[in-house]
Structures are given as C-alpha cells and as structure tokens.
Homo-oligomer: A and B are copies of this chain.
Amino acid sequence: MPLCYINGKYAPISECQLPVTDMAIQRGAAVFEAARIYDGRLFALDMHLERFAESARLAGIAADKIIPLLPDIIKTGVGMDGCPSDGLVRPYITGGDINDKGFFPEPRFFVLFGGINKTPEEERRRGATLVPNRMERPFPLCKSVNYLFALIPLGGGDKENHESLYMPGGEITEAMTNNFFLCKDGRIITAPTGRVLDGVTRNVVLTLARENGFTVEERCPREEELAVADEAFITGTVNEVLSVVRVGGLTIGSGRPGPVAAHLYRLFLSNMERWLS
C-alpha cells in the first residue's frame, strides 16, 4: 500500500483526503513535483525542491513555511515500510480554502510515496508516439496540476499514444510531462527553459550531452523540421530518455529509435550516481 504524509503524519494513501473546499479542487490551485527513487535513494531532490518553490511562488501560493520541511519529510518517508525502493515521491502544495484574488495565504500540503509506471520495454523498443496539441502551454515554469487541456487531445483514444505534444503556431515546445528534443545532422535541438518547464532530466541530459561533445541548440524546433529530422526523443523523471518515432500521422527518421537517444540514455544510466543522494 503506497504511503502518504498529510496533516503531520504518515498514513496509508487510502486514508488521505483533501477537503472539497480546497482551491486545488475548486480552482486547480495546486503545484507538485515528482522525484525518482532509485534503489532507496533520491534522484536530484534539490533540483526538484528548488523548482517546487518557484512553482508555488508563480502560482501565488504562500509556501515559504512548507518548503523547508520537505527534505526531512521526504527522506524519512523514503526509508519507511510502504515506500517502494524504486518509485516516485510526489509532494503537492494546494491553495487551501482562501483565494484572495490569486493569492493563497493558507496552503495545505501532502507527499505521496508510491510505485512508478515504468516505460514498458515494448514501447522503449518500438519508440513512442505523441499526439499534437496546438495550444501554448500557459505559464510553463509553474508545474501545476492543470493538465486537463493536455489530456483532452488524447481523449481515451489509441492506447499506444504516449502523451500529447504542445505545438503552438508551428513551434514545438514540450510534451505533457516530458521535454522534447529533435536531432538533425549531429545537433540536438530543444526549446529553451522559460518557454518550457525547467525539466530536471532535461538539465541532466543536456549536461551529459555537452560533456560528451554534442552540439545543443536551445530554440523551439519548427513543426516542418519533424519531417526531415534524423530522430527525436523526450526526457522526464518517469521516462528518463525515450525515443519518439511518430508525432500524429508523421513518422520521424527511420521510424525506429535512433542512436543519439540510445547513447544519451546509456550516459544517463551510467552517470546516475552523480545526482543520487
């Protein structure tokens, strides 16, 4: 049974509830993080908590008293029965019951400790398919729970679709829960932070790519570059590095996972120790 920390104590997740008066439920006023647990150790927790504080600030949630409590709560929870040794820690800060014109002075928080739906091996071999979503992601530096608009384009359709890809006005920004990368003639092209979420795995992969001699261009790939790309991939906490072989009806490159993504994924796995605490 997954575990939850809420209202000052750890409890089975089935006992953890939020009042319906909370602005998370009434107005989507909540921010969260998802950090990976590998073999009982946390991956890049500091980077996640730094981004979490920034998300809360952007959302107008007064989280200053909550953020400093989280390292101890998370580290203690990861060591408890009920927390899997390979899994995800997901802290949430909600708006609480008071919405003072976009300022939330009395937030609540809870932390989920649970398993992870790892990328299926079959999808990793085949490569992922993304579904175009023509809108701009609003306020991309604020990792809030407002994901419904990125889920509507999937609409319960083909279950082989991985997730949706934001493509406003012919530009490619990011996927619903992953950053997006295009490879062309030895260059790796990805949207700049600010236009997209400041992805923790994105930053790790870009560090490793630069250390290993790849040329990185931080700009939004254009939609028409998909058709002439050598390959594409996404990065994120759950999927790590995952090849993308289709976007909507369009096949990318050979239609199979490519060598750049495979090389970066090997580098990610072999350098993981540097970001584990």
**Residues of A near any B CB (own CB < 8 A):** 4, 6, 13-14, 16-21, 24-30, 32, 58-60, 92, 94, 99-103, 110, 112, 135-136, 138-139, 142, 144-149, 151-157, 159, 161
Interface contact A99-B139, CB-CB below 8 Å: no
A161 to chain B, nearest CB (A): 6
| CA distance in complex: A38, B6 (Å) | 39
Interface contact B102-A156, CB-CB below 8 Å: yes
Contact A154:B20 (CB < 8 A) given known A139-B149, A149-B138: no
Interface contact B27-A157, CB-CB below 8 Å: no
| CA distance in complex: A110, B6 (Å) | 22
Interface contact B20-A92, CB-CB below 8 Å: yes
Most B CB within 10 A of own CB, among A24, A92, A110, A153: A24
Interface contact A27-B145, CB-CB below 8 Å: yes
13 other A-B residue contacts (CB within 8 Å) besides A6-B20, A18-B25, A28-B145: A17-B19, A25-B94, A28-B144, A29-B148, A60-B154, A101-B151, A102-B154, A102-B156, A103-B154, A135-B136, A136-B136, A139-B148, A139-B152
Give the chain B neighbours of A138 by CB distance below 8 A: 135, 138, 149
Contact of A24 among B13, B25, B151 (CB under 8 A): B25
A12 to chain B, nearest CB (A): 11
Taken together, the copies of this chain in the complex come to 2
- Identity of the chain B residue whose Cβ is nearest the Cβ of A19 in the assembled complex: B17
Give the chain B neighbours of A6 by CB distance below 8 A: 20
Give the chain B neighbours of A146 by CB distance below 8 A: 28, 146, 148-149
| CA distance in complex: A41, B146 (Å) | 34
Instruction: Please name 19 pairs of A and B residues whose Cβ atoms are closer than 8 Å in the assembled complex, sorted by A.
Output: A6-B20, A17-B18, A24-B24, A25-B92, A28-B145, A28-B148, A29-B147, A59-B152, A60-B155, A99-B151, A100-B156, A101-B156, A101-B161, A102-B151, A135-B136, A135-B138, A136-B136, A138-B138, A144-B148
Interface contact A142-B136, CB-CB below 8 Å: no
Interface contact B58-A152, CB-CB below 8 Å: yes
A51 to chain B, nearest CB (A): 16
- Identity of the chain B residue whose Cβ is nearest the Cβ of A114 in the assembled complex: B21
- Identity of the chain B residue whose Cβ is nearest the Cβ of A161 in the assembled complex: B101
Give the chain B neighbours of A92 by CB distance below 8 A: 20, 25
Interface contact A155-B17, CB-CB below 8 Å: no
Interface contact A147-B27, CB-CB below 8 Å: yes
Interface contact A101-B60, CB-CB below 8 Å: no
A89 to chain B, nearest CB (A): 14
Give the chain B neighbours of A148 by CB distance below 8 A: 27-30, 59, 139, 142, 144, 146
Most B CB within 10 A of own CB, among A94, A100, A102: A102
